Amino acid sequence: MTPTFRTSKPDSAADPSRPHLILVGLPGSGKTTVGQAVAAATGRTFLDIDQEIERREGRSIGQIFGEKGEPYFRRKEREITEELTYFGNMIVSPGGGWIANSDVVSIVRPPAQLVYLRVTPESALKRLGPMRAMRPLLSRPDPLTELKRLFEARRAAYESADHVVSTELFDLQRVIQKVTELATAGLHP
Ligand code: S3P
């Protein structure tokens, strides 16, 4: 049975012959904000994997981590990633830790194309502000140390994306514009 997602365009059949564009980066890098804007600009369907997991589970990411544990959450990420292979052409925003499981990434890539929204842990934490409380991995006494640890552990995987867009050098509108250009150009390197 073909899976159904609650996407920005529920009625649109995302073209399976075209690759997904997947935004990766630390929490606070702007994946959801940029993904929504790029999808709106290009007419493509947007899927936020965390939101889809919350919808299916009927509880927040924090509750899922607290009640069922991180391994359960990672299994849900994998399931949704597997379902993505039935579709194409979506703009997808997974959580920041999705990249850390290379076997999950390899379910969709190739042909999916990855765009890394590069941000320092310091800026990411500043941007998250009070939204940090929604991230179970960052609801710890020293979130900056934790974010730096995650950054170091994931850096090589993030940098292996097909394209890198610095969110330090460019403001949000310019980042959206750059990713929109990549999405429109079909992401040929
Ligand atoms: C996580 C990032 C979160 C969410 C979960 C775990 C991570 O998503 O998936 O809290 O491992 O970095 P965002 O990157 O959207 O904050």
What is the pLDDT, as a whole number, of residue 7? 60
Distance CA 42, CA 51 (A): 21
Distance CA 118, CA 128 (A): 15
Sheet order of strands, 46-48 included: 46-48, 91-93, 21-24, 113-118, 163-166
Distance CA 19, CA 94 (A): 16
Q: What is the pTM of this model?
A: 0.92
Nearest protein Cα to ligand 1, atom 11: 97
Convert the pLDDT of each residue in 132-185 to its tens digit: 888 889 988 899 999 999 999 999 999 999 999 999 999 999 999 999 999 998
CA of 27 to the centre of ligand 1 (A): 6
In the structure, which protein residues have their CB atom closer than 6 angstroms to any atom of ligand 1? 27, 31, 50, 61, 95-97, 135-137, 150
Angle at alpha carbon of residue 153, lines to 35 and 39, rounded to 5°:
5
With contact defined as beta carbons under 8 Å apart, do 51 and 5 qualify? no
Token output for 57: 């589970």
Convert the pLDDT of each residue in 76-120 to its tens digit: 999 999 999 999 999 999 999 999 999 999 999 999 999 999 999
- Based on the number of CB atoms within 10 Å of its own CB, is 74 exposed (0-12), middle (13-18) or buried (19 or more)? middle
